[in-house]
Every structure is written in structure tokens, then in C-alpha cells.
Amino acid sequence: GQNIDQPTEMTATEGAIVQINCTYQTSGFNGLFWYQQHAGEAPTFLSYNVLDGLEEKGRFSSFLSRSKGYSYLLLKELQMKDSASYLCAVRDSNYQLIWGAGTKLIIKP
Amino acid sequence: GAVVSQHPSRVICKSGTSVKIECRSLDFQATTMFWYRQFPKQSLMLMATSNEGSKATYEQGVEKDKFLINHASLTLSTLTVTSAHPEDSSFYICSASPLSGGDTYEQYFGPGTRLTVT
């Protein structure tokens, strides 16, 4: 079966750095997405990786290793507004998005 | 760019009635739209994929006669929850892709519709 694993919840301090991991087992691979979802709102796109390596976009970076079925989202200089759920999703060989359950990130002052 | 709207944002209905939710791509043409359902503290669950002008493809376990999807134009898809029951209470989210089939780069999400069935 297809599976996406990410931690359920993480806590970090304002101003610090946090890394949210995602491992996947899917039928084929056509890209990995990270989305941010605030409570009661729809997800918003953060990043897309299809090749191995690090993609940096401001305070957020996303890394992919296809051979290991592994990705992480790195958030720097954490702000209180970064408190949200972070969803990892993989597009499989049928171009379907397989979603992880999300990681709830709690930022403390 | 790439804005998707949903209407209504919240709806409360009585058990047994039907509710229609609209999803519109405001500044692009969406050949493919997706409907998701999300229960509290759970991940997104894909309900169906709709392509403009053709029948929707439903995920396993989703009743197509209960969740009617119409994608009549390149900018509008509707989800009708027929004979709603309290267990249908959920957060319904649509998303749209500007390209069809396998060239989908990303999905743009609507703001979601909170359905409460009493």
C-alpha cells in the first residue's frame, strides 16, 4: 500500500529552527509537495521537489532524497504565525496526490 | 494569480436536505478539479476528481449518488451533498489544477466549506 509518515506534533521556540521529516512509500514518484494549513483553513502551497537536493525559499527550505524515500521541511527564524499543520504529499505514478496526516507545529514564545 | 473560491464558506442544514457547494477558479481555467473532505485533526481525504465535460472519478468508498459532482465549465465545479446526515458534517475543500492529466504541477486550494448537519 501507499504510505506517508510524518510526526504528529512538534514544538519549537520562536526564533529557532525546526525540521519536519516525511518518509514515503508510494507506487511511483512524480514529485513531493509541502503545504501549510492553519486551523480551519485550506492548505497553501509551500514547496515542490522532484529532484534530489535542497530547495530554498526564504525562511523555508525543503529537501528530497528519492533513494531514501525521505524529505524534510526546514523552517528558520520561526515566527508565531508559523504555528500550523504542515502536510507532506507525494504524487504517485498515476499523478494522484497521496497525503500525509500532517504535522502540527506549535511555536512557543 | 491562481485563486480558487468556494461558496458558501459555512452552511448549516437539517438532516435529509441537500447542500450545494460551488468551487470556482477565478483567474485561470481549470480542466481538473478535486474535492476533498477533512475531519477534525485528520488529513485531507480525496473524494473525487472531476474533469470538465466528463463524469467525475470517485475514490473507493465515496458514494457517487450521494456526492454529486458537476464540472460544467472550465471555471466551475459543484459538489452536492444529497440527503445529508450528521455524519456528513465535515470541512469540504476543493482544489483546481490549471493543466490537465499528468502535467499537473500543483493544486490551488479553495478556502473550504464547513458543513454542519443537524
Query: B68-84 pLDDT, tens per residue?
Result: 999 888 899 999 999 99
Query: Which amino acid makes up residue B56?
Result: A
pLDDT at A6: 96
Q: Decide if B109 contacts B93 (C-beta within 8 A).
A: yes
A103 close contact with B: CB closer than 8 A: no
CA distance A103 to A79: 17
Nearest Cβ partner of B43 from A33, A40, A101? A101
pLDDT at B105: 60
pLDDT higher than threshold 70 for residue B103? no
pLDDT at B107: 79
Residue B60: which residues within 8 A CB-CB, separation 6 or more? none
Query: Which amino acid makes up residue A12?
Result: A
pLDDT at A94: 79
Q: Which of A6, A91, A94 is the mutation pick for testing B, counting most B CBs within 10 A?
A: A91
